[in-house]
Amino acid sequence: MIITIKRIYDKPEAKDGYRMLVDRIWPRGLTKDDAALDEWNKDIAPSTELRKWYNHQPELFASFSKRYKEELCKKTDELKRIKSIASKQNLTLLYGAKDPHNQAAVLLDVLNQMH
């Protein structure tokens, strides 16, 4: 099965499969019905401190990515659970940011590296 990332404001599609929001904060102006989520996974999102530090500044993305991966190392059970979902169906990791340099891209990389 395939794991992809997508902005939550983009229209849901059947090929999305299991739709998981990986933001700690609910996206502005979006209703829960419009989001068409299977799961809102706040626990896998970056810590509040890391999110505020990064503040979607592209020049900090490399450092953000490294720090977020360090946080994810402490969440192996949750990573395995997400990977298990993806083994049964397509999985789309959803994010609210306009910038494609975000936690969903880092999480996708981590999940793709897992065996």
What pLDDT, in 10s, does the model give residues 99-108?
Answer: 889 999 999 9
- Per-residue pLDDT, averaged over 81-96, amounts to 97
Q: pLDDT (tens digit, 9 = 90+) per residue, 24-76?
A: 999 999 999 999 999 999 999 999 999 999 998 999 999 999 999 999 999 99
Give phi and psi for 60, each to the nearest 5: -100, 0
Q: Please report the pLDDT score of residue 87 as a whole number.
A: 96
pTM for the model stands at 0.95
Q: Which residues contact 18 (CB under 8 A, 6 or more apart)?
A: 38, 39, 85, 86, 89, 90, 91, 92
- Judge whether 91 and 18 are in contact, CB under 8 Å: yes
pLDDT at 1: 83
State how far the Cα of 35 lies from the Cα of 32, in Å rounded to an integer.
5
For the cut 90, the answer to whether the pLDDT of residue 115 exceeds it is no
Q: Structural domain boundaries of the chain?
A: 3-113
